[in-house]
Amino acid sequence: MSLKGDVCVVTGAGGFLGRRLVKLLLEEEKMAEIRLLDKHVEPQLLQTLEDCRGDTKLSVFEGDIRDGDFLRKTCRGASIVFHIASIIDVIEAVEYREIYGVNVKGTQLLLEACVQENVVSFIYTSTIEVMGPNPQGEPIVNGTEDTVYHCALKFSYSKTKREAEERTLQAHGEMLQNGGRLATCALRPMYIYGEGCRFLLGHMGDGIGNRDVLFRMSRPEALVNPVYVGNVAVAHLQAARSLKDPRKRNTVGGKFYFVSDDTPPVSYSDFNHAVMAPLGFNIQEKLVLPLSLLYVICFFLEMVCMMLRPLKRIVPPMNQQLLTMLNTPFSFSYQKAKTDLGYAPRYTWEEARRRTTEWLASQLPQQRAKRRAR
C-alpha cells in the first residue's frame, strides 16, 4: 500500500532515527508533505534532503512536544504521525518530571491532537527496554511478542516508554472528530546502531582515552541483537503502509512488534569492538572488575548520590540496572513483524557494519582532537 499523496508528521525528525526515516520516505514514497517536528532542526539537514525531495513539500515545525496547541497545528491536515521523539536516559541523569513530561504527557497530547485533527494512523517508536531486562537479570533468547516475562522496570526511561506505549495501543480505534477511527501500533527496536549513533561515539572516545583499548562492561556470553538504523526506518515505513491498508489495518492496529535484523547476537561490548576493530581498536579481554564487585561499587555510588541529592544532584556513570542490562542475554525475533507488516531487513550485517565503521572513521580525527584538548 503506497503512501502517495499523504501528509505525515515525524516527531524527533532531527534525531538519529528521525532523519533516516525522513530520507527513506522521500526516496520511496511520493508524499504530498513531510512535517519535521523537533525542538530544533538544523538547516543543513534540509540541505542534505534536497536532492531526494522531488515534489514532496518539507515543512519544519520547531516547538515543544508538551505544547498541545503546537501539536494540533502540526497535525492539522496530516494523515500519518511517526512519533519518534523521546528523552533517552539510562543513567538517571534527567529528572523524572522532565522525562515523564516528554515521554508520557507529550505522547498523550500528540494522541489527543491526532483525534482532534483527524489523523488516521499513528506509529509509536517504543524500545526493547519496555520489556526489560528485569533486576534479577533473567535472560530471554530469541523472544517473541508472546513471550511472558515478569519485570518490574527500574529505569525512569523504560517506565515512561512503557506507559507511553500502553497509551498508544489503548488509543487504537478511538473515534476521530470526523467520525473516523484512529489506528495505532508500536515498534520495539533493539539497541539501534549506525551512522549518527552518539553512544558509539561515546564508546570510541572512551577507547581513545584508554590508548585505543575499548572498555569491557559486558560478559561475552551476554548476547543481544542490535539492529541497524536503516532497517528500523524500513520497519516504520512498513508499519505505516500496513495501517493504511484496509486488509491489514485491524490485524496490525493496537499491537506492538519487535524490530531486529540479521546482526549476529553479540554482547554490547563485543559489538563495539566489531565495528571499531577495523579502525585499530582492541578490547579488554575481561570485565574491568569482577561483576559482583561492580555491583557492590554501583550500590555504594547510588547510596552516596542519594544522600547528597538534597544538597547536590550527582549522577554516577554506571548503576546497578545498567550493569544488569549490559550483562543479561536479551534477544528477540522479528518474525511477527515480517508476517504482519511485511518487514524484511534491507541491509545485511556486512553492509550495516561497513557503513557504521566508515562513519566512525570519519569521526575519528575529531574524537582524537577532543581527547587531546582535555
- Give the active site residues: 157
SS3 of residue 311 by DSSP: coil
Total residue count of the chain as it appears in this document? 374
- If phi > 0 it is left, if psi is from -120 to 50 it is alpha, else beta; for residue 151 that is beta
Contacts of 50 by beta carbon, 8 Å cutoff, 6+ apart: none
Helix (DSSP H) and strand (DSSP E) numbers for the chain: 14, 13
**Sign of the alpha-carbon torsion through 230, 323, 155, 40:** negative
Report the alpha-carbon distance of residue 359 to residue 353 in Å, rounded: 10
Contacts of 369 by beta carbon, 8 Å cutoff, 6+ apart: none
CA-based nearest residue to 172, from 231, 245, 230, 114: 114
Tell me the sheet residues that pair with 35. Answer: 9, 59
Report the alpha-carbon distance of residue 255 to residue 68 in Å, rounded: 26
Report the alpha-carbon distance of residue 71 to residue 92 in Å, rounded: 27
Taking residue 235's Cβ as centre, other Cβ atoms within 10 Å add up to 30
Report the alpha-carbon distance of residue 4 to residue 29 in Å, rounded: 6
Report the alpha-carbon distance of residue 68 to residue 172 in Å, rounded: 20
Report the alpha-carbon distance of residue 14 to residue 85 in Å, rounded: 9
SS3 of residue 286 by DSSP: coil
**Whole-number Cα distances in Å, 79 to 21, 203, 280, 368:** 16, 39, 48, 45
Q: Quickly list DSSP for 11-57.
A: ETTTSHHHHHHHHHHHHH---SEEEEEES---HHHHHHHHHHHTT-E
